[in-house]
Structure 1
């Protein structure tokens, strides 16, 4: 019995010491995005019982996961797509997104030039709900009987 407890003790000590050592995870470099994130993958190996690949990314120095990652790379990280996105696909989608921003700014400028104002947002509260005359609280039909 004491031999087993000694093995557990040494396993705990060894794992504690190893936790201070830097990890040496080596994956295949799959690419970079326009933000500077690097993407990696360790492929699946069914012979070792690993059915899914391991995927991750490293942000550029000083960024610490602050910027959102592009949708194409996020889909690849979450296993929604098998192949990593190509450079052509990323630049095409980035150009479309920038074109949408420019077009939205043009439409907004045109609306303001025509004298349009910002859409009114109703205030929250009981005044923002519709009032129907048939169901009005002051109606004699809906008033509770006096006791």
Structure 2
């Protein structure tokens, strides 16, 4: 049974933020499936990538560290968007899937769960997915979150 189908878009201004997406499970279930995907993953524009690297070097490196970092700039490429997912049930934290993959297909059940999630009862009530937008380096990044519940 479909529970949620949410699409959206993030921009670089959303970097270093979290978006909470609530959803409801109307009765206890035996299986919860989640699919999260976002695109694009990679910033293809080399000049823009180098400009972003220079900005980060200026912000985060000591002056004497910048020149050596610049000589290794290619080793940091390609720059990539990164969004990760955490899950809470009506009682609390159920896990986090902080992978670098742009597509996640996850399962949660009483007796098994995808890596990063904790198996256990799937209670009716208010659940929440938290998207952690670590970094958006492209002009925009589209996402889709889908959730299905299989009743007991």
Q: TM-score range by the shorter chain?
A: under 0.3
Compare the two structures and name the one with the higher helix fraction. 1
TM-score, normalised on structure 1? 0.21
**Which has more radius of gyration?**
1
The structure with the largest strand share of the pair is: 2
Normalising by structure 2, we get a TM-score of: 0.21
Larger RCO (CA within 8 A; separation ≥ 6)? 2
